[in-house]
Amino acid sequence: MRNIKKLHKAEYRPMGDLKTWSPLPTNRLQMIDPFIFLNHHGPQTYPPNNNGLPFGPHPHRGMETVTFILDGDIAHKDSDGHYSVIESGGVQWMTAGRGLLHAEVSSDEFKEKGGPLEILQLWINLPKRLKMTQPSYKGLQKDQISVWKNEDETVQAQVVSGNFKGIRGAFDTPTSVDLSLVYFEKDARIKLEIPKSHNIFFYVIRGKLEVNEIEVFELHLAEFSKNSEILDIVAQEQSVLLLGHAEPFEEKVVFGGPFVMNSEEEIRQAYEDYQAGKMGSWED
């Protein structure tokens, strides 16, 4: 079975009244190539007449954002003309590529009525050859996303990209990344085979899982070695897991706020292009 090198507790980084946990990056773990960033917002309940999510217009270049709406909703708008409101159980996938502006806020209905909210956003790097690709966006509601279930339905995987036990993911992506949300009933068990060469992203959103005989508690990210293909997962209680894996790019990564490139010069160019309006304009 594949060994766990270390467990990483998410750091609490609230954004005003928005509860936020961040397991990546931290001082202890910079990235799990090509997975570079995760924010876990909530769970919490917003009152009526709230201000909703605070993520107004901002740019990105050189990476992808994958947003999981476990509860609540997100109204997405970007400078390429995409607009959607994705509700509980839905997923958004945006490839920033050469650059665009986007906003992720709560719908008018959510701001008026309030309600429970829990959202995760994962950033996935793009390889050098795709840094300046054409931007794209797709948002899917819960019933549009593929699901794998075991025989007794004690494990259900929402297959977002790649494949999970033969079920193809709902999103076609520019790189080969397998990504699923996996829901476990207490005492449920599943065995997975993941190529040895792949890096694994294993974040327990809720509950407690035992993976390869090591307990991983909620709000923890497991960092794996590459000694085996096998993951043997047993749910100690009802649990939710964000599971990803991919071949690492093994390229230099330079962060510049919302931009992820391969050199400091490319970061400077990204800021210049943004300020010159080359990533699009914004109209409310």
**CB 125, CB 66: distance < 8 Å:** no
58: annotated binding-site residue? Answer: yes
Side-chain-side CA neighbours of 119 within 13 Å: the count stands at 27
Q: Which residues pair with 63 in a beta bridge?
A: 125
The rounded distance, in Å, linking the Cα atoms of 242 and 232 is 15
Q: CB atoms < 10 A from the CB of 25, how many?
A: 16
60 is in an annotated binding site: yes
CA dist 42 and 38 (Å) reads 13
Q: Is 8 annotated as a binding residue?
A: no
CB 210 within 8 A of CB 176: no
Q: Measure the CA–CA gap between 209 and 184, rounded to whole angstroms.
A: 9
DSSP character at residue 272: H
Backbone dihedral region for residue 165 (phi beyond 0: left; psi -120 to 50: alpha; all else: beta):
left
Kindly list the distances between the CA atom of residue 63 and the CA atoms of 106, 153, 170, 263, 271, in Å, as whole numbers in the listed order. 23, 35, 19, 14, 15
Name the token pair of 122.
């994962």
265 Cβ contact partners less than 8 Å away, ≥ 6 residues apart: none
Rounded CA-CA distance 164/272 in Å is: 41
**Residue among 183, 181, 42, 58 nearest 114 (CA):** 42
Alpha-carbon distances, residue 111 vs 18, 71, 75, 77 (angstroms): 14, 14, 11, 17
* 102 labelled binding-site residue: yes
**Annotation: binding site:** 58, 60, 102, 104
**Annotation: binding site for Fe cation:** 58, 60, 102, 104
